[in-house]
Each structure stands twice: as structure tokens, then as C-alpha cells.
Structure 1
Amino acid sequence: MNMERREVLKAGSGLGLLGLLVAAGLITPGEARAEWAKAAFDAKSIEDTLKALGAGKPDSSADIQITAPDIAENGAVVPVGVVTALPDVQVIALLVEKNPNPLAASFTLPAGTEPSVQTRVKMGQTSDVYAVVKAGGKFLMTKKEIKVTLGGCGG
């Protein structure tokens, strides 16, 4: 499954007219994407990633929790979750500081969605993992160090 197809599929039931246009071949999946944070995923540092996300320098928040193991036995599949009680959450992003491209995942949450996400990330080495949350138009973040005992994306 290629990345463009994933982007179209993740839109789910909200495809409507765009889904019909893609299915009919009138537009490409790339044209159907409303938002694609290519610059953020291509960034090589935490600062550049935050800038590309439009986050600037987010304030630290105790209202955001990262659920992940303190020690990951295999850096290739590290389960990481983010949950917050902040109201009006629009975006949750996961950044892994020492990865070649820090942005590991970005989730756009529709209004009324519970602000909780779970995924697996690849980590090449022990690193801080940042959760960046856009809530009410303001960016906030927290971090957690995860120790990796087997390499995941180094090499």
C-alpha cells in the first residue's frame, strides 16, 4: 500500500466528493489531500520540525501524557501513546529526537474526537520522545525518555 493510498483511506467516511473524484480518476490522491505535512516529515531537527508544524516553541504541559515503556527491548517497534484532557484538541504529533527525521507521526483529530492516540514508532537509539498537541489554536508539549536496547532504525 503506498503512502498516497494511506492518506486517502485515512480520511474514512469523510471522503464524499473527493473520494468519488479519486475513484473516477479525475484527480490524484495527492490532489485530494487537504493537508500534508511534507516539510515537517522531511525536517532533520526538532526545531525545524516544530517550525514546519507551525508550533514555534511550544510551552510545556503537564496535561499531556505519553504512554510508552521506559525501556524498549526492540527499537523497531516501540509502542507509544498520547492522551490529554485538554479541550479542543486538533493535532497530536510524535517526535523522536535522535531519529534522522524526528516527526514519527501526526494525527489530525476531528472536532469531538477523544484526544488519545496509539501507534508504534521506530527508534534507532535511546532518545527523548516529544508529544506536541495543538489545542484551542495553541501548541503545547511534553517529553519522555525511552531507552532502546536493540537498534531499530540506525545503521
Structure 2
Amino acid sequence: MLNRRTLLSHSAKVAALLAGAGLLPQHALAAWNAGAFEGKTLADVAKALGAGAPAESKDVTLTGPDIAENGAVVPVTVSTTLPGVKRLLVLVEKNPSVLAAIFEVSDAVDASFATRVKMGQSSNVYAVAQTADGKMFFATKEIKVTLGGCGG
């Protein structure tokens, strides 16, 4: 009987083998951008993704709790009504790695995603939409954390 940990371990091994053999779709490999995940600010992430300076927009929506009891699992939802969006990002300003998630968007999907992020402390959280022409638009929300989840 497989438990969750064993299943995830086997899945990771299969993915590594497929990637090593060049059998993963190029689109999936293109989504990983180490420079973006190493960025320490919103501007660093934008530069790593080849985008211009981010601008605030009412067409980008971020929802999450005002106060999160546990920073290890903070639920957030990001969405946009902007046309031509190719990526939606979630950033947590005071985390060691600011970029928490990248969602690749196409015309075939609704540009709305729900996820959970780790937060080490109270911080501003950003929802960022990147359009095909390289422009970035964002919304922000301060989320207070009572119990940190990033180990310090």
C-alpha cells in the first residue's frame, strides 16, 4: 500500500528520469526560472522574468485572510480580468524567497488560481499579472501572521 510520501517520492523520481531523457514538454521546463525564485524584491523578480516595472491595477485581484493563525498554510487566491495575461505570480515580501508561485496562463484557462503559501512573518503579499507584451500589473494585501511557517 502506497502512502502519500512514498507516492510523492516515486513521482519525483519518474519526473527526474523523464527530464533527464528529454521527455518532459519544453513548456513545463520553460516555466522554471531560477533567477525569478532567487529575487529578493518585486523588481528583481520582474527583471528576471523579462518584464518592465510593475504598476498597480484594479484588474488584478488578491484575496487572503487579514490574520493567518498559521504561517505554514496561508490560503490566497489570485485572479485577473486583464486580456493577454501569460503568467500570474504570488509574492510574499518578507519571505527569504519572495516569489512563492508562478502560474502559466493561456486563453484556454480562466486566470484565477487558489493556493497556499508559507509566510515566516506578517508581510505584504502581491498578486502579479504579466502580459504577453512584458508588462506587469499587481495588487497587494497585508496579511498578519500569528505563528510563523518558514522556520524563523
* TM bracket (short chain): 0.7 to 0.9
Which residues in structure 2 correspond to 1:1-155 (within 5 Å)? 1=8, 5=12, 22=18, 26-27=21-22, 29=24, 33-137=29-133, 138-155=135-152
- Counterpart CA distance in 1 for 2:122 and 2:63 is 16
Q: Tell me, in whole angstroms, the C-alpha distance in 2 between the residues paired with 1:43 and 1:64.
A: 21
Identity of aligned residues (%): 52
Which residue identity does 2:22 align to in structure 1?
I
Question: For the Cα contact (< 8 Å) 1:125–1:154, is it kept in 2?
Answer: no
Task: Give unmatched runs, 5+ long, in structure 1.
Answer: 9-20
- Count of residues paired in the alignment: 140
Q: Distance in 2 between matches of 1:154 and 1:22?
A: 33
Deviation per residue, 1:65-113 (Å, 9 max, x gap) = 1010011010000001111111222100010000001000000012231
Equivalent residue number for residue 17 of structure 1: none
8 Å CA contact 1:87–1:136 kept in 2: the answer is: no
Three-state SS of the structure 2 residue aligned to 1:33 is helix
1:41, distance to aligned residue in structure 2 (A): 0.7
Contact 2:70 / 2:146 at 8 angstroms: preserved in 1?
yes
When residues 151 and 35 of structure 1 are mapped into structure 2, their CA distance, relative to the original with a 3 A threshold, is: closer
Aligned residue type for 1:141: F
User: Matches of 1:111 and 1:103 in 2, distance apart?
Assistant: 24
2:107 is paired with a residue whose SS is coil
Gaps of 5+ in 2: 1-7
Aligned to 2:31, the other structure's residue is in SS state coil
